[in-house]
Amino acid sequence: MKLRLILGDQLNERHPWFAVPSDEILYTLMEVRSETDYVAHHIQKVTAIFMAMRKFADNLAKKGHKVQYIQLDDPRNQQSFIENIKLIVQRYPIREIEYQEPDEYRLDRTLAELSIKTGLPVTMAKSEHFLTSRDSIAEVFPGKKHYLLETFYRYYRKKYQILILPDGTPEGGRWNFDAENRKSYPKNHVPPEPLFFNHSADEVVTMLSKSGVTTIGQMENNQLHYPLDRAEALRLLEHFAIQLLPNFGTYQDAMHTHHAFGYHSRLSFALNTKMLHPLEVIQRCIDEWRARPGEISLSQLEGFVRQILGWREYMRAIYWAKMPEYATLNYFNHHNPLPEWYWTGNTNMNCLKHTIRQSLQYAYAHHIQRLMVTGNFALLAGCHPNEVDQWYLGIYIDAFEWVEITNTRGMSQFADGGIVGTKPYASSANYINKMSNYCKSCSYNHKLKHGPRACPFNSMYWHFFHRHRNLLEHNPRIGMMYRTWDKMESDERQKILAQAEKYLNAINDL
Ligand code: FAD
Ligand code: DLZ
Ligand code: SF4
């Protein structure tokens, strides 16, 4: 008999593994403390993963597959993949083990030891989920030291013939429509209501609490809103294609106190747990765009395709090219702890208050909130990338290390010194004010650099560039900034630096 291990983020019912049921194959899923405890996860994240795993196991069993499901509170549970497998191997006539390539380095290493630990032949199967392979950086950039997202994206647009005309040029004559996108919401604009699924999570929540699993965040009335199986994930995709895609690109970067989700798809959980394949998501959106000419512009569609075929696959490619060293990079040698209010949202800074509270409430914030509010602030505040990683890895419903660390440590903290991005995403209040309504009701003044009500982003922004001058001055995309700084009156510069020091020294009180 063959044992096939399915991890909690491998819920792809269309994998070739499941084509034909066989009594000779035992599928195994397990809820284990080694996974619930490697970081403090959001309660909704652990709950969603467990409930989705349970549904997946039930569906397999209904289709005639043999399934062994180990719950977290099962007295026989050894709380680790290897120890549980060793136990199953003793109880069943298992002759061989298979698993799908895990997406996380840590588990890749752990499962590589399965054969030694069990004494059985072990095979790693392709997960068939991504559009690129683990070594796609070597494929796209042979012998190169720099890996531009744009080059990667165009390579795979061509390879998969996505929005490519017969003569090989991109549909619409351009690869990038960013110039048309990224507007803030006009006054009184209200995006469509998000599609929520109302799953009662009482049973799993009680089990987690009885088992003493530490979680963060809330779940109102134990109602879980995320899709838990493929049918629901497909409904969410339909909702996105029909209701949200028409304005996705335009408002991709907009932030608002009343609209947590805007035109974002909320598909990341379904994608990262493999309920949906990235190509079917892209194809569904292309079909909708073709069916509604004049109503959905190419800029909306291209902006979305770029996220999935570009950023998502690119982040994974960098992860596998650079791990495990990547997890140790700290270009700026930042060592401060994260402010305490990252776990409560109790700060007077309105942008951070809203972004953090929303993250605790929904296990969700959209890209610009993650990058330009919480990420930007942690960078300016000199927080240790390990702390920042732990926070992001725990709090978001879609957080798995292969995509979290490259976004956090790379894109948002520039701790990789420029592998993912060409310059740090540091900004003053100006950007947040332009893209949101946060500043309008904030106790700080977004226009002031110093003085009692000055927005902390402004002075901390200059403090960041000032303290890292030797690392950043020669970056061609930043040089201009130092010329602006140098042109300021010396008295003004001193006031700004003193204001930043004051804020940095009282970071928990902001
Ligand atoms: P949409 O805005 O609707 O975008 C559609 C899809 O594109 C997403 O579902 C996602 O699969 C993909 N996508 C978009 N941007 C990115 C990106 N930069 N990297 C990878 N995929 C992308 N995404 C995760 O899936 N897991 C993470 O742990 C994660 N951590 C992040 C940490 C930081 C600091 C930042 C700046 C971004 C992070 N992202 C992460 C990327 C992005 O913010 C989320 O994918 C997105 O907000 C999920 O919401 P959505 O499904 O509504 O996305
Ligand atoms: C995130 C997570 C959690 C919290 N719990 C489990 C679990 O108990 N069992 C499991 O198989 N997977 C879990 N996961 C998802 C894994 O951590 C995920 O498979 C790895 O991060 C690899 O990407
Ligand atoms: Fe955020 Fe500053 Fe605007 Fe307040 S004024 S919302 S702290 S950017």
Which segments within 212-362 are labelled E, that is strand? Answer: 223-224
**What Å distances lie between residue 424 and 176, 178, 219, CA to CA?**
21, 19, 34
Residues of the chain where predicted confidence (pLDDT) is lower than 50: none
The pLDDT score that the predictor gives to residue 480 is 87
The pLDDT score that the predictor gives to residue 462 is 98
Instruction: Ligand 3, residue 438: give the atom nearest the CA.
Output: 6
Q: Look at ligand 3, atom 7, and give the residue with the nearest C-alpha.
A: 349
Ligand 1 pocket by Cβ (under 6 Å): 264-268, 271-272, 307-308, 311-312, 315, 366-367, 370-371, 375, 392, 396, 398-399, 403-404, 407-408, 411-412
Place of tokens 């993963």: 49
Q: Which H or E element spans position 125?
A: strand 122-125
Instruction: Ligand 2, residue 41: give the atom nearest the CA.
Output: 4
How many Å is the Cα radius of gyration of the chain?
24
Instruction: Ligand 1, residue 370: give the atom nearest the CA.
Output: 36
Helix (H, G, I), strand (E, B) or coil at 96: strand
314 Cβ neighbours under 8 A, 6+ residues apart: 147, 149, 152, 153
Residue type, 207: M
Cis amide prior to 324 (ω within 30 degrees)? yes
